[in-house]
Amino acid sequence: MRRILTLIIVAVFLIGATDDSPIMKAKAQLFGFKDKNVRGEVLFYQYDDMRVRVFGKITGLPKNKTFAIHVHQFGDCSSPKAAGGHFDPYHTGRHGNPNDPIGTHHSGDLPNMKSNAKGEAILNFTTKAFTVVPSPYSVLGRSVIIHAGADDYKSQPAGNAGPRVACGIIGIIK
């Protein structure tokens, strides 16, 4: 009886245990185009259920201000325009709110972030709008761009977010 009880407890533990480790990780190290004090990193963690956790910290931003942040189609930070437009693997041609249904707007449309009194901004959200694992929807080899202003989530093609102030190319990490 004791052996059966032990097996039941072990089975319940194993069934209830989940491994929530990412299956693939990527990072973009961001640098300001003109203001070299703007720096940061954005991490992308892909999980088995296809959700991607996006989180990071940006420093050196103007204080107490809201900024747009997007994934752009090209991994080129040689100039503000080199990254191309917003990543749009669903070919919607539409800018929109990241909370809108997937496939109705650019996958690269991310939530705005707000800097604090020290000029630091934190990004932390989860999405299924893109992948890290190689696919037509993957962000690997693309870029993260921070804009000078907030995204209004309406104006086409880029949310009236203003000039591009920082960029980082998304690459695989261990």
Q: Which of 95, 105, 142, 151 is catalytic?
A: 95
- Is 70 tagged catalytic? yes
The Cα–Cα gap between 96 and 76 comes to: 23
Q: Which of 88, 105, 106, 151 is catalytic?
A: 106
Strands 66-67 and 69-72: what pairing?
Answer: unpaired
N-term to C-term CA, the chain: 46
- Give 6-49 as a DSSP string: HHHHHHHHHHH------SEEEEEEEEESS-TT-EEEEEEEE-TT
Q: Which of 88, 105, 142, 147 is catalytic?
A: 147
- Is 91 tagged catalytic? no
Q: Which of 3, 48, 76, 86 is catalytic?
A: 86
Q: Which of 88, 105, 109, 151 is catalytic?
A: 109
Instruction: Give the 3-state secondary structure of residue 149.
Output: coil
∠ CA 67-73-75, rounded to 5°: 90
CA neighbor of 86 nearest in space, from 145, 133, 44: 145
Q: Which of 70, 88, 105, 142 is catalytic?
A: 70
Kindly report the three-state secondary structure assignment for every residue of 94-136. Answer: CCCCCCCCCCCCCCCECCCEEECCCCCEEEEEEECCCECCCCC
Q: Which of 88, 142, 151, 164 is catalytic?
A: 164
- Is 147 tagged catalytic? yes
Active site residues: 70, 72, 86, 95, 106, 109, 147, 164
